Copies of this chain bind each other. A is one copy, B any other.
C-alpha cells in the first residue's frame, strides 16, 4: 500500500455547511443540546441523574489548592474507592470527593468538542467564554506531573493506571485530546491542547515499551485514534508511538489485563473475558467483530488511521476483514450494530433480533468513524454507503426531532407493552429519555452532528472525493491552485445534486473530482462534463480535467422506494420486508397504522407512492404502500390455537415514516420489518 495515495479527511473548518437538513440539526445541537448538556454537567437539571462531572473537576482543583497551601503538611488522599459508580450518601450533599461513573470526566471533553465544532460553523462569544472558563477549571485540576483524571486524583494517586481495563483513564484521555483539538481548531486557543499534551506525555512516560513502563492499553478504546490526531496536529512522533504501542500490544499474550486482574483468571476457555475488550487476539489476527460494539469500532477506527499513517498493509488487511464482519454479518439495516444488550455487544453472525436489539447510538457513530477512515485508505462506495446509512438512520434516531431527548438503544421493532412488562426488554425504551447517568450518547451525537462536514469529503493532492452529498462550501488546494467547491443538494429526500467549481484566477492544471454513486441508486444521471474525462471505479465517478471557473456539474440520483429483504441467514427477519428510499430506512408507527403492526403485511412488489408529511416540523415524503391487514378472529371463539386456514387479509394503505423520526409523537408501536403476505 502506498500511503501517499491515501486520501485525508478535511478539517471541520474547511467545510461550511449550507444544507437545510444539516443546518437544522446543527441548530438543534447549538440551541438545545449544548446548553442542556452544560447544565447537566453542572447537575442543574432537576429531574435527571446528576453527572457530577464539573463537581469532580472543581473538587480536584480545591485539592490542588490545599496541596499548595499546606505544602509539606499536605497528605494526599489514599486510594479509597473501587466501585464503578459512586453516589453521594445524601443526594445534593457533596463533599470534595469523586461521584458518578469512573468515566465522568469525558462528559466535559465531549461537550467541549461539540462546542468547538459549533463555534466553527456559528461563532458565539458567550458560549466561548463559558467554555474558556470551564477549561481553566480543568487545567487547574491537572496535577503538577501532568496527570489528569479526577477519579484517581480524588481517590488517591497511588493507584493510577492500575485498572486500565475497567476504569477508563485512557478513554478520558482520548476524549480530552479530541475535545482539545476541536477547540483549538475552532478558536486558535491552545490552553486545553496543552493540558492534553501534558497528560499524554505523562501517560507516555508510564505506558509503552521500555524499562519501568507498563505494557498496558485502554480497556475502552478511543485513545488510539485520538493520539494519531494529536500527532498530526502537533507533529510529535511520541504520540504516534504511543498509539502504535496501544494498537500493537492489544491482545498479545500473556494478556496485560491478567496482570491487572489475576483474580479473574480462571482455567478453561477464557476468550470471552478478553473479547469484550477486543483483546482476545493481537489485532492483526482478529477476523470477527466481537465484544462491546462501541469499543470495537473505536479500535477499528484507530487501526485504520494507523494503517494510513504507517502505510501498514497488515493492518489494512485486518481492517477490511473486520469491516466485512461488522457490516456483512452483524449490522442492522439501519446501520445499527450490537445485537445484544449483554455487554452492549456484537452477537454472533446474522443474529440481529429486532425487538431486543441494542444498536447503541454511539456504536453507529463509531461505525461512521470507522467508515470515514476506511475511505481514506481506499475509495470504495461500500464504506460510504454504510456511513450514510448509519448517519441518516441509526445515528439520527438517537435524538428527538426537538433535540431534547435521546435514545441510547435503537430497536427495529417496539411493542411498548413488552418494554414495560418484559424484563428481557428492560434496555429498550419506547420513548426517548431526557438524559442518562451514563451519558455517552447525547454528547456523542452533539459532536458528530456538529462536525458532519468532516465525513462528506476526503482529498489527496489532486483529488477531491465527495462521499456524502451535504450542501456545503469548501476551499482546497489543487494542482490548479486554490479552488472552491459548492455542493448543493436536498439529501436525504431528493437525489438532485449540483456541484459548482470555482477558482481564484485561472485554473492551470488538471485535478480530479471523485463523486460517489450511491449503492442504492441504479439509474443515476449526470451532466456538465464530457465522458472522455470520466471513469467509474468501485462506485466513484472520477472526472479528471481542467476546470473552468464556475462550472457546474449536475447529478441526479433518483430516490425510488425500495422494498428490501435480509440475507436468509438472518433468522429474525425471515419472511419480512423493509422499506427504504434513498439512504433513508422507513418504519411503520402505530400512530399512522393502528395497533398490532405485526398483523400488517406487504407483497414484495407492493405499489408505493410518496406524499409530503411532517412530524414536529421535520418535512419529508411519507411512503404509502398498498398493503394488507390480517383480520383478527375473536379470541373467545378460537382460543390460543386453532386449525390453520388461509390468512384473511383486508387491503389497507400502509404509511411509512423515516425510522429516525419515530417516537416523536408519544409512545407507540413501531416496526422496520413488515411481514410478507402469505399464501
Cβ of A327 under 8 Å from chain B:
yes
What chain B residues lie within 8 Å of A24 (beta carbons)? none
A417 contacts B by Cβ under 8 Å: yes
* Oligomer: number of copies: 2
Chain A positions 508 through 543: 1 when the CB is less than 8 Å from some CB of chain B, otherwise 0: 000000000000000000000000000000000000
What's the least CB distance linking A439 to chain B, in Å? Answer: 24
Given contacts A640-B327, A641-B333, contact A424 B356 (CB under 8 A): yes
Q: How far is the CB of A370 from chain B (nearest CB, A)?
A: 16
Per the bound structure, the CA–CA distance linking A587 and B566 in Å amounts to 25
Q: A646: CB under 8 A from chain B?
A: yes
- Distance from A602 Cβ to chain B, minimum over Cβ atoms (Å): 9
- Check A644 against B604 for contact (C-beta < 8 Å): yes
A639: chain B residues at CB < 8 Å are 328, 567
Interface positions, chain A 543-589, Cβ under 8 Å from B, are 562-571, 574-575, 577-578
- Chain B residues with Cβ under 8 A from A418's Cβ? 348, 351
Chain B residues closer than 8 Å to A638, beta-carbon distance: 567
Chain A stretch 180-201: residues in CB contact (< 8 A) with chain B: none
Given A356-B424, A417-B348, A571-B415, A566 and B679 touching (CB < 8 A)? no
Contact at A635–B328, with CB atoms within 8 Å? yes
A69 contacts B by Cβ under 8 Å: no
Question: Within the assembled complex, what's the spacing in Å between the Cα atoms of A568 and B633?
Answer: 8
Contact A643 B575 (CB under 8 A): no
With A574-B675, A635-B569 known as contacts, the answer to whether A643 contacts B598 (CB < 8 A) is no
Which residues of chain B come closer than 8 Å to A603, judged between CB atoms? 679
Residues on B with C-beta less than 8 A from A563 are 643-644
Chain B residue with the shortest CB-CB distance to A643 = B562
Asked if residues B422 and A565 are in contact (CB atoms below 8 Å), the reply is no
How many residues belonging to A are interface residues under a CB distance threshold of 8 Å? Answer: 58
Partner of A575, one of B567, B569, B575: B575
Docked pose: A271 CA to B574 CA in angstroms: 38
Closest Cβ–Cβ distance, residue A12 to chain B (whole Å): 31
Task: Tell me if B646 and A604 are in contact (CB < 8 A).
Answer: yes
A65 within 8 A of B: no
Nearest CB to that of A353 among chain B residues?
A: B424
Give the CA-CA distance A641 to B421 in the complex, in Å. Answer: 32
Whole-angstrom CA separation of A347 from B569 in the bound complex: 28
Closest to A418 in B: B351
Q: Tell me if A678 counts as interface (CB < 8 A to partner B).
A: yes
Cβ A640 vs Cβ B566 within 8 A: yes
* B residues near A643, Cβ cutoff 8 Å: 562-565
- CB of A645 within 8 A of chain B? yes
**Residues of chain B lying within 8 A (CB to CB) of residue A633:** 567-568
Interface contact B351-A567, CB-CB below 8 Å: no
Q: Mark A115-137, 1 if CB is under 8 A from B, else 0.
A: 00000000000000000000000
Known contacts: A567-B641, A568-B632. The answer to whether A422 contacts B347 by CB under 8 A is: yes
Given A677-B678, A679-B603, A644:B577 Cβ within 8 A:
yes
Determine how close the nearest CB of chain B comes to the CB of A9; give it in whole angstroms: 25
A 657-679 binary contact with B (CB < 8 Å = 1; else 0): 00000000000000000011111
Is A340 engaged at the interface, CB distance under 8 Å to the other chain?
yes
Query: Can you show 27 pairs from A to B with CB atoms below 8 A apart?
Result: A328-B640, A333-B641, A340-B424, A342-B423, A342-B424, A348-B417, A348-B418, A348-B422, A351-B421, A351-B422, A356-B424, A563-B643, A564-B642, A564-B643, A564-B644, A566-B641, A567-B633, A567-B638, A567-B639, A567-B641, A568-B633, A569-B596, A574-B630, A604-B647, A605-B644, A677-B678, A679-B679
Known: A567-B638, A567-B642, A570-B640. 8 other contacts (CB 8 A): A563-B643, A564-B642, A565-B643, A565-B645, A567-B641, A568-B632, A568-B633, A577-B644
